[in-house]
C-alpha cells in the first residue's frame, strides 16, 4: 500500500517534471547541444572531403544497420545482438566485481588494520590498464568471453572498493554513538547504520565502475574478436572499410554509456538524504 502510493507520487512527479518549464529548458539545451555536435561533424566531413562521412550519410548507414538488429544467425549477428552480448558480459563482470568490492570496501572502511593491509594492494593494482588483465584472463580461462568478463571484473573493482571504504570510514561519531547508547547488535549496526550511511558512497563507486567497465569492454572485444560491439567496430567498420559503421558504433556506445550512467545517477538520488 505504502509502496503503491509512493510509486504513484513518483510517477506524478515525473509527469509534472516532463511538462515543467525547467524540463522544457533542458530539452532546448539538449537540442542545441546536438545541433552544435552535428554542425562540427558536418564541418569535419566537408574538410576531409567525405573521408569522414557526414551526419546524413551516417544516418542512412545507421538505418541499414538497424534493419534487422536482433538477427542471430551463426554466421552473422545483428548490432542489437552484439550490443546485448557486450552488455551481458559487462553485467556479469560488473556484478561479480561489486559482490567482491562492496564487502571488501565495508571491511576496509571499518577496520584500520584491514585498510592498512589492503590499501597498498589496491593502490598498486588500480592504475594498471584493464587491457593488461585480458591476456592474463585468457591464460587462466583459455576462453576469450570468460577472459573479457575477468577483465571487466578486475577493473570494476577499484572505484567501488575505494568509494565504499571511504564511506564506511567516515561514519560520524554521532551515528556510532546511537548504536552504542542503544546497544545495537553487530547485525543491527551493519544494516541500520553502516549500510544506509555508506549506500550513497557505494552507488557513486558503482557508477564510476560501470563507466570504466563499459569503456573497457569495447577495447576488450577488439582484442578478443568474434563478439560484441568492439568486434563490430573493428571487423565491420575498420576491416570492412566503412567509417560510417565506426561512427554508428561510437554513437551507440556513447548513448548506452549515457543511459547506464543515468540509471546510477537516479539510484544516487534515491539514496541521498538530508541531515
Partner 1 sequence: MSNTESVVAPFIDVADNILKPVLETPTSIDISNVSVSFKTSKGIYTAVKDINLTVKKGEIISLIGHSGCGKSTLMSTISGMIKPTQGEVYANNKKVMKPGPDRGIVFQNYSLLPWMSVYKNIYEAIDSVLHDLNRSEKKELVEDNLKMVNLWDHKDKLPGQLSGGMKQRVAIARAFAINPAILLLDEPFGALDALTKSSMHVELLKLWNLDNREKTIVMVTHDIEEAIFLSDRVVVMNTGPAATIKEIVDVPLSRPRNKKDIIHSSEYMTIHDRLLNLLIDKFSIDDIKDIRKTA
Interacting residues with partner 1 (CB under 8 A): 174-175, 177-178, 180-185, 188, 192-193, 196-197, 199, 273-275
Compute the residue count for the chain.
Answer: 275
Residue 265 dihedral angles phi and psi, to the nearest 5°: -65, -40
Give the cell for residue 274.
538530508
What does the alpha-carbon distance between residue 209 and residue 215 come to, in Å, rounded to a whole number? 10
- Minimum distance between the CB of residue 268 and partner 1, rounded to whole angstroms? 14
What are the residue ranges of helices labelled H in the chain? Answer: 2-18, 21-47, 55-65, 79-110, 112-125, 130-141, 144-169, 173-181, 186-188, 195-224, 228-231, 243-271
- Beta carbon nearer to partner 1, 56 or 185: 185
What does the alpha-carbon distance between residue 167 and residue 159 come to, in Å, rounded to a whole number? 12
> Of 201, 218, 188, whose CA–CA distance to 85 is shortest?
218
- Beta carbon nearer to partner 1, 179 or 228: 179
- Beta carbon nearer to partner 1, 170 or 177: 177
- Minimum distance between the CB of residue 269 and partner 1, rounded to whole angstroms? 14
- Beta carbon nearer to partner 1, 163 or 224: 163
- Beta carbon nearer to partner 1, 19 or 187: 187
- Minimum distance between the CB of residue 119 and partner 1, rounded to whole angstroms? 23
- Minimum distance between the CB of residue 192 and partner 1, rounded to whole angstroms? 6
What does the alpha-carbon distance between residue 150 and residue 159 come to, in Å, rounded to a whole number? 16
What does the alpha-carbon distance between residue 266 and residue 259 come to, in Å, rounded to a whole number? 11
What does the alpha-carbon distance between residue 227 and residue 90 come to, in Å, rounded to a whole number? 13
- Minimum distance between the CB of residue 226 and partner 1, rounded to whole angstroms? 46
- Minimum distance between the CB of residue 266 and partner 1, rounded to whole angstroms? 17
- Beta carbon nearer to partner 1, 88 or 177: 177
Amino acid at each position: 500500500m505504502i509502496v503503491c502510493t509512493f510509486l504513484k507520487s513518483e510517477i506524478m512527479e515525473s509527469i509534472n517534471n516532463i511538462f515543467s518549464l525547467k524540463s522544457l529548458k533542458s530539452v532546448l539545451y539538449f537540442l542545441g547541444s546536438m545541433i552544435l555536435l552535428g554542425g562540427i561533424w558536418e564541418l569535419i566531413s566537408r574538410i576531409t572531403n567525405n573521408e569522414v562521412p557526414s551526419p546524413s550519410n551516417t544516418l542512412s548507414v545507421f538505418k541499414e544497420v538497424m534493419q534487422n538488429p536482433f538477427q542471430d544467425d551463426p554466421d552473422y549477428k545483428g548490432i542489437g545482438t552484439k550490443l546485448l552480448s557486450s552488455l551481458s558480459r559487462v553485467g556479469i563482470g560488473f556484478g561479480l566485481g561489486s559482490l567482491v568490492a562492496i564487502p571488501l570496501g565495508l571491511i576496509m572502511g571499518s577496520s584500520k588494520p584491514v585498510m592498512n593491509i589492503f590499501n597498498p594492494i589496491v593502490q598498486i593494482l588500480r592504475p594498471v590498464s584493464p587491457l593488461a588483465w585480458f591476456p592474463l584472463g585468457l591464460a587462466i580461462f583459455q576462453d576469450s568471453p570468460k577472459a573479457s568478463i575477468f577483465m571487466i571484473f578486475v577493473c570494476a573493482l577499484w572505484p567501488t572498493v575505494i568509494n565504499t571504504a571511504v564511506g564506511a570510514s567516515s561514519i560520524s561519531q554521532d551515528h556510532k554513538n546511537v548504536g552504542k547508547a542503544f546497544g545495537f547488535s553487530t547485525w543491527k549496526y551493519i544494516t541500520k547504520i553502516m549500510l544506509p550511511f555508506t549506500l550513497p558512497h557505494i552507488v557513486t563507486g558503482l557508477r564510476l565502475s560501470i563507466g570504466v567497465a563499459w569503456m573497457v569492454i569495447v577495447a576488450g572485444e577488439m582484442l578478443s574478436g568474434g563478439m560484441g560491439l568492439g568486434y563490430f567496430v573493428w571487423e565491420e567498420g575498420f576491416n570492412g572499410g566503412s567509417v560510417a559503421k565506426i561512427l554508428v558504433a561510437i554513437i551507440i556506445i556513447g548513448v548506452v554509456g549515457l543511459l547506464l550512467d543515468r540509471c546510477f545517477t537516479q539510484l544516487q538520488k534515491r539514496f541521498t538524504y538530508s541531515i
